[in-house]
Structure 1
Amino acid sequence: MKQHFCLISIGTNTNRVKNIKLAQELLSFNFPQIHLGKEMDTEPIGINNPAHFTNQLAMMQTKLSIEEIRQVLKNIEIQVGRIPEDKEKGIIKMDIDLLMYDSAILKVSDLKKEFIIAGLKEFGL
């Protein structure tokens, strides 16, 4: 079975130290070969909450399909405490997005964000 290259973004603006650490642990458990980039403090974009974010880029290889990866990421968000009602309040306990799967760019607009550009440079991509 083929290994697939994946690029993911991680972000939280609530209980940032605790939530990012828990997400990192859960990601590492589910994807043992994950490589986590540097944590970055960023300002919010497009939400009505002035709280800064801790963001991070990660890359990994996996045999899972896009759908399987997205399900794992969604489960991790829930384990960290994400609930749908929080989003409208600007509370982001955890947001994990699959940005790339092999050569397919899944979140084109996200690749323009400063922390993602910095993370790509850090990874040499």
Structure 2
Amino acid sequence: MSQHRVVLLLGSNLGDQKKNLELALQKIREGGNEISLTSDFLITEPVEFVSSNIFCNIASIIFTHLSPIQLLDFIKNIEVEMGRINDSKSSGGYSDRIIDIDIITYNGLNFKSERLEIPHQKHLFERDFSKILLKDFI
């Protein structure tokens, strides 16, 4: 079974943000994925919405046997398990969240569907905090 190199960005701005990120990484690992490298935590202001809750973010390189859509379903299930109620795609906007996990790159693949775009354009090219986290990962 081949392993695919994937870069993920994770963020949390509710509850104990660092513990939320660590739990999400644990769940990713428990799902049969190898976590190869994880960045330091980065504290940031919310982007594209107003909130008094700051974010804690990390980047991670994982190796997975899952296809892009299988991986998306897997990480969305983790978000729901951890208590995330509104997904920005379904709600049409951003809001505070216990956990957010985004697929940034997947083996250098260019992929676009209704549910997923790889590479993740906003994180790669528009968001300054993402550029900081991803500088050693892409």
Query: Secondary structure of the equivalent of 1:122?
Result: coil
Q: 1:87-119: CA deviations, max 9, x gaps?
A: 768221111011111112431111132332222
Q: Whole-Å Cα distance in 2 between the matches of residues 61 and 89 of structure 1? A: 28
Sequence identity percentage:
28
Q: Whole-Å Cα distance in 2 between the matches of residues 3 and 85 of structure 1? A: 28
Q: Which amino acid in structure 2 is aligned with residue 80 of structure 1?
A: M
The range that moved more, 89-98 or 113-122, is 113-122
- Asked if the contact 2:123/2:131 (under 8 Å) is kept, the reply is no
Q: Whole-Å Cα distance in 1 between the matches of residues 8 and 32 of structure 2? A: 12
Higher helix proportion (structure 1 or 2): 1
Query: Secondary structure of the equivalent of 2:62?
Result: strand
Q: Which amino acid in structure 1 is aligned with residue 57 of structure 2?
A: N
- After superposition, the CA RMSD in angstroms is 2.2
Change (3 A) 1:61 1:32: closer
Residue 132 of structure 2 is matched in structure 1 by: 118
Residue 6 of structure 1 is matched in structure 2 by: 6
Query: Secondary structure of the equivalent of 2:134?
Result: helix
Q: Whole-Å Cα distance in 2 between the matches of residues 75 and 89 of structure 1? A: 18
Q: Whole-Å Cα distance in 2 between the matches of residues 101 and 85 of structure 1? A: 21
Q: Which structure has the higher relative contact order (CA within 8 Å, separation 6+)?
A: 1
> Structure 1 stretches of 5 or more lacking a match?
none
TM-score, structure 1 length as denominator? 0.85
Change (3 A) 1:31 1:120: farther
Q: Whole-Å Cα distance in 2 between the matches of residues 85 and 109 of structure 1? A: 16
- Asked if the contact 2:43/2:57 (under 8 Å) is kept, the reply is yes
1:103 to 2:108 alignment: yes
